[in-house]
Amino acid sequence: MAARLSEAPGDSRPLSELLADHAALERHVRDNVQSAWHPSCTCRMGDPADAQTVVDPSGKVVGADNLFVADASVMPEVSRTNTNIPTIMIAERIAEMARG
């Protein structure tokens, strides 16, 4: 019996099919693999003129009105410690700047 991996509830494909089809395997991994760790460093902070920038230095989302990101996603690198305290500090600082 072939090992089966679920792509969606009620829908599964044999592992051998996924291994034989690179695109299907990549799709499966992107759709199903998750982390139990603290996501961070996914929302680049920088110069709004840079196409790779998501938020400006005040946490404001580039191209959106009154939308701010104030969490670990704006960290440039994963901290060496638990992300809780640095995330609180980021959120407090961005909230302070947003208040004006």
Q: What is the DSSP letter of 20?
A: H
Say if residue 22 is in the same domain as residue 51.
no
| Together in a domain, 44 and 74 | yes
Check whether 11 has a pLDDT greater than 80. no
Half-sphere exposure of 39 (CA within 13 A, CB side): 6
Would you say residue 7 has pLDDT above 60? Answer: no
**For residue 67, which of 50, 54, 51, 49 has the smallest C-alpha distance?**
54
State how many domains the chain has: 2
Instruction: Give me the active site residues, please.
Output: 38
Decide if pLDDT at 15 tops 70.
yes
Do both 42 and 6 map to the same domain? no
- The reported pLDDT for the residue numbered 94 is 96
Report residue 5 as tokens: 């991996």
Same domain, yes or no: 79 and 48? yes
Asked if residues 38 and 83 have their Cβ atoms less than 8 Å apart, the reply is yes
- Residues of the chain with pLDDT > 70, as a percent, come to 86
96 and 47 together in one domain = yes
pLDDT the model gives residue 10: 38
Residues 1 and 18 in one domain: yes
What is the residue whose two structure tokens read 């790779």?
Answer: 52
Q: Do 42 and 91 sit in the same domain of this protein? A: yes
Same domain assignment for residues 45 and 86: yes
Distance CA 84, CA 38 (A): 9
d(CA 21, CA 71): 37
Same domain flag for 46 and 75: yes
Choice between 1 and 58, residue whose per-residue pLDDT is larger: 58
Whole-prediction pTM value? 0.60
Domain coverage including residue 21: 1-34
